[in-house]
Amino acid sequence: AQSVAQPEDQVNVAEGNPLTVKCTYSVSGNPYLFWYVQYPNRGLQFLLKYITGDNLVKGSYGFEAEFNKSQTSFHLKKPSALVSDSALYFCAVRGDSGTYKYIFGTGTRLKVLA
């Protein structure tokens, strides 16, 4: 069975500081991993993904994420947070063993303080 854990309901960070939003996963087969962001009253927007290759993937708005197979993690990072990064962030996984289904984590609310 596929699952995703986002252990923090909320992350607070000061503007200009680095941020990390954590995600761990469990999946059959190789993982396809994603981060999505949701602004109030909007749908989810794609940020970045890991399918294969380099463990460090770069995405939109200066975000990046590091795939760690041994720790089954895919943490989202940004070197310098902006107030406009404040939003709800979701990690998602799909296993490559014949499933079409993406499983989302419970979301982490990021609050960047000016």
Partner 1 sequence: EPEVTQTPSHQVTQMGQEVILRCVPISNHLYFYWYRQILGQKVEFLVSFYNNEISEKSEIFDDQFSVERPDGSNFTLKIRSTKLEDSAMYFCASSIRLGPNEKLFFGSGTQLSVL
Q: Nearest distance from residue 101's CB to partner 1, in Å?
A: 5
End-to-end, the C-alpha distance of the chain in Å comes to 41
Q: Kindly state the number of chain residues that form the binding site for partner 1, as judged by CB under 8 A.
A: 25
Q: Nearest 5 degrees, angle CA 33-CA 17-CA 65?
A: 15
Q: Nearest distance from residue 15's CB to partner 1, in Å?
A: 24
Q: Nearest distance from residue 37's CB to partner 1, in Å?
A: 11
8 binds partner 1 (CB under 8 A): no
26 binds partner 1 (CB under 8 A): no
Q: Could you tell me which residues come within 8 angstroms of residue 23 by beta carbon, excluding any fewer than 6 positions away?
A: 4, 5, 6, 33, 35, 73, 74, 75, 76, 91, 105
Binding positions for partner 1, 41-100, rule CB under 8 A: 41-46, 49, 51-52, 88, 90, 92, 94, 99-100
Nearest-angstrom CA–CA distance, 63 and 57: 9
User: Which region, judged by CB under 8 A, interacts with partner 1, from 23-31, 40-48, 62-70, 73-81?
Assistant: 40-48
